[in-house]
A and B are shown apart, each in its own frame.
Chain A
Amino acid sequence: MNISQVKRILRNYLSDRASDKEKMLIEEYLQQAWENKELPADADIHRLVVLDNIRKAIRPKVYLRWISAAAASILILVLAGTSYNYRDEITEWIHPMPKILVVAEKFRIKKILLPDSSIAILNAGATIEYPENFRGKFRAVRINGEAYFDVVPDKHPFVIESPNLQIKVLGTSFVVTDSNTTLLPKVSVKTGKVAVAAANFTQQISADEELIFDLFKNQINIVHHQDINTDWTTKSLVFNDNSLKEVFAILTDLYKIQIRCKDVDITNQKFTGAFEANDDLDDILRILEVSYRLHILKNHDGIIIK
């Protein structure tokens, strides 16, 4: 049987013109698929993606037709005065912009291009939530953890909400370190000017300055002439005294390749170091090979380390 025969059989089957034998072929194929189906390990991730797509597709469109004409006209009169100021909030309320959530897992550094071409780089463990498109007066994102921002200048201020701070900028580069667990949230400015606000203060800082908010004493400290450390932003993976076992596990996950190492003396060794964003798997393996005098063999179904 060749492709054109299969095409014909499928066409017949779908238009209900298939012979008994053709029907039997397709039904047997389906039956076998049903009996031999197996759930891949990543099925649940796909479930979340599809669920999200379905939600977007079935989101009700809001029409005002359920409001009677009288009620509508009163509403319009009331809204007319105030709605101009709140038009963005109203739009957001009626038709919320879908949000994107990105997580930088353990050991991973993630670079994200935001809808306005600004760049956000998440340090390991950080998360960012931003809209599919920026709309309204502000470009607003929400973060938790450490993140570097390089904001493209625009008349719409760029606003970052972190657990303890609110940061407003026009176009600069800076690092925000704030999470649900930290006691010392801080903002370090590389270029330009940044306005930082929290519950009881608003403060502007400029290049090479660092604002540290001491949650315990409830006071802010500003460090001048600070050399802002952004070395990590060019990395893709960062390890700090982690076992090679963990390193191999993350490489397996990242490059979808099997790494086998039976020797516990090797896998228990600790590794501290970072890999550049443009290092590929071979570069990484070469570094490990040299540092630990390993023998790394590549074959068709994976990598063997001795």
Chain B
Amino acid sequence: MLDALLSALSLENLLLAFLGVVGGTIIGALPGLSATMAVAVLVPFTFTMDPSSGLIVLGAIYTGAIYGGAYSAILVNTPGTPAAIATSMDGFPMAKRGDGDLAVTLSCLGSVAGGLVGALALLLLAPPLSQIALSFGPVEYFWLAIFGLSLIATLSRGATLTGLIGGGIGLLLSCVGSAVVGGDVRYTFGQTSLLGGIPVIPALIGLYCVPVLIEMVIRPEAHLERRAEKMRGFRLIEALGLMWRSKFNVIRSAVIGTVVGIIPAAGGSVAGLVAYSEARRTAKKPEEFGKGAHDGVIASEASNSATVGGGFIPTLVLGIPGTPPDAIILGALLVQGIRTGPQLFTQQADIVFTFTFGLLIATLLMLPTGLIIGRYAYRLIVSVPKTALAPAIAFLTIVGAFAIEANTFHVFIMVALGIIGWLLARIGVEASPIVLGLILGPIAEAGFVQGWLIGGAQGDRLGMFFGQPISLAIIALTVLTLVSSGVFKRKTQLERPS
């Protein structure tokens, strides 16, 4: 292990990790250019490197890209990556009230803390944790998606029925195209372009970014409030104090991120939403969530960064990618001649441990890199006049929607959903429940249909859905979230002066 640590600390590997973090952060910050894309684009550059250095670069890019998504989530209400959806819920309100610099610093500290927990889990717990991941079947995925959807009640802030309509719209949007199981063609109205469904990233950009752009254009006041007295630094001491006060939130969110990262195909967006929901449920002042709560930003960032290390556990131990970028890294490993599996930790332990230490180092490098990039990103956004900011962001939304599949139809979908999202927001239907429905709908449907079929074949559908210990634990957590949300709303109504 000591040899692996020394190898990871070599000048070459340190430089590669630094460049990977910077490159990943910049790509992740651009709406539409996801962590998956960052890793996919830069994979070929690693083929000429030795395996451990190549892996370090890819891990560093991935780490940086997941964190970079927080910038645009906080500063322009557009998650740079899907993993940053929950970050925008409180990060943007913080930026609106003039605390964008604090939100950026908190997101950086949260990401570093979460990333370290994920990387340590990879170092210490890889083999046993990967066995737990294998016990997740379709029903567990279904309940996990339902748990994510229960967040609609939390996010609706006193308008649960309106939130449910938003969630229903999102779920119906997720049904467009070929069904995930069975192949039924649904709601395409004869358009072949819709056979693949509503593209998620363009939809996210449209629903989150275009309404902000329209509001920016129609309002005379500045996009973000600029507080001169708070523009002097990183607000690092203040952020560290807040982090210390929410240490349990950090640990819980990082553990959630690691565990969700281990579950194949769940990913950072699910981790962020689950951790955000838990942070709100256990908060002393849950009414502050959605209005700029520090704990919301910390929970989302700590959990989505923890998925990086967590996701590598099944990738390296079982050869099952935990997240989409892991799938690309798995392909790169195969090109390098590395065979993943339990034997990897015995036969090629030097590569695995060098990579793991490299991931830890890259996470630590994210602290100075992220703080410096974040500070200047915030200053730039609050200083630039609307006449420059609005066209630049509009252009980036077009680029982001187009770049994923080089498809102009995706650009049209992005703009159309953005305009619809703005109109819906005018009548009280927020974007978040729609996005939750759109992202979690396919997971819930696939899990439900597969569970239904398997349960039918076994002659025990009830047992299939309600008889597994993991399912029961997730159901209990969902009920707890809904009950606590209901109790909180009742308490707020009672406390409200008549």
A and B associate in one complex:
no
Interface residues of A (CB under 8 A from B): none
Interface residues of B (CB under 8 A from A): none
